[in-house]
Amino acid sequence: MANDRRKRPSTATGRLFRLTGMTTSIATRVAGHQVKGLFQSETAKASDREKLLKHIGREVAATLGEMKGAVMKVGQIASQMQDILPREISDQLKVLQNASAPMPFHVIRRQLERELKDELGNLFASFEDTPFAAASIGQVHRATTHQGDQVVVKVQYPAVKESIDSDMKHLRRILRLGSLLRVDEAALDAVFREIRNQLHEELDYCQEANNLTLFRDFHHEQPWLIIPRVFEDLSSEKVLTLSQESGTPLDHVDDQHGFDQATRNLLGERLFDALGQQIFQFRAVHCDPHPGNFAFRPDGSIVMYDFGAVKRLPPQDAELLRNIVRAALDQQWHTLDTLLQQLGVRKKDTEVSSQFYATWIELLLRAFDNKPYDFGRSRLHTDIMQQVKRTSLDQMLKFQPSSRSLLIERVVSGHYWTMMKLGVNTAFRPNLERALEIAPDA
């Protein structure tokens, strides 16, 4: 524990020093790489660039892994988004997706009592000192209320909110170093604004409590989707107390734990349908697909946790996404190209061939056929990476991340891995067609 305290920056000055040191180190390496490249062949330059990116990824992951707060959260998001970071860096950042070390309990207790304005013993009949989950911006403890309710209590780490602007500035600077990113600056700025806005919302537990209530009401006709209930008198902006809803973690959803193939298929379809309704009807989407935010029951129920990260879609964006999927299904490549430009994913003043779209859409829609698709044996992710390698850089640079679809893409790509771990083997085209036909809420 003493070693953890030494490594983890505990003050604003300490965080600034650590992030500045990392940025300076990376800037020095990038500058050296650029000078060295003046005297190298193209082959040697490409090889050195790959080594440089891997080193940067390791250094960023090591530094962010020692820190709590916004910078680690952004690192976790970036690790899932290979259209923002080079693959060599995003691969190194994947380590940040694992559970982080918890804060000492005396820090959590002080934060909780300050927020709820009472002593712990007066607030709860019992409270477990050891958290059962720890993440980038807070950790979760089991407790019992004085009325006998089994609850979970999410406590935000101190000073996380105050560190956002500084953390984001430093991470943004790293991404801009030395033309490591070949994306439009305005598009990258929009992406960072989207992430920053999402972080501010996620750090407001009052907003999350409101999200939980709204989603419980929206899904009230789907009793198989379990959303925790908020205990308002034991919650605040930085403390959130919820009903304890048990379920089987994703890693244990298998035959040995009572989940046969039919049940796993049902769980996959229900999860897909719920997300489709959220996107196209509710226009508000649970957008943190981390496996720890979901649990499953052998009766086909799904427990959905953590509603801090919610993407609210303007009506025009939800309709634009609907039309993009429809154009892809109907193989209307010119229409698809126009719609992607409207979304900001496709750079204007360039041309993309119909064959390019035909190849990529066939690949991306492979899991949404009328025939059952076996996610348990899926190689779609590796096929996509192989196609990226086969596609010329000139073609790939005609596309860029868009802040309007960034978090929705995170949901889709994240739940691809969920379907794989569930071992779902079913035909999703009927579910996709139903999702596209859902009438939006007024």
In the numeric block, the tokens 């709590």 are attached to: 68
Residue in 288, 306, 317, 337 annotated catalytic: 288
Tell me how far apart the alpha carbons of residues 272 and 308 are, in angstroms, rounded to a whole number.
20
In the numeric block, the tokens 């406590």 are attached to: 155
DSSP for 45-72 reads HHHHHHHHHHHHHHHHHHHHHT--SHHH
Tell me how far apart the alpha carbons of residues 16 and 10 are, in angstroms, rounded to a whole number.
11
Tell me how far apart the alpha carbons of residues 94 and 437 are, in angstroms, rounded to a whole number.
36
3-class SS of residue 1: coil
Q: Which two tokens stand for residue 10?
A: 């505990």
- Give the H or E element holding residue 239: strand 239-243
**Whether the Cβ atoms of residue 123 and residue 234 lie closer than 8 Å to each other:** yes
**Whether the Cβ atoms of residue 237 and residue 115 lie closer than 8 Å to each other:** yes
3-class SS of residue 33: helix
Amino acid identity at 229: R
Q: Which two tokens stand for residue 338?
A: 């126009």
Q: Is 288 a catalytic residue?
A: yes
Give CA separation, 402 vs 14, 98, 114, 198, 246, in Å.
Answer: 33, 27, 40, 15, 36
Q: Which two tokens stand for residue 55?
A: 């080193």
Q: Which two tokens stand for residue 220?
A: 């009230």
Give CA separation, 150 vs 89, 153, 242, in Å.
Answer: 42, 10, 9
Angle between helices 12-37 and 164-176 (to 10 degrees): 10
Tell me how far apart the alpha carbons of residues 302 and 305 are, in angstroms, rounded to a whole number.
10
Active-site annotation, residues: 288
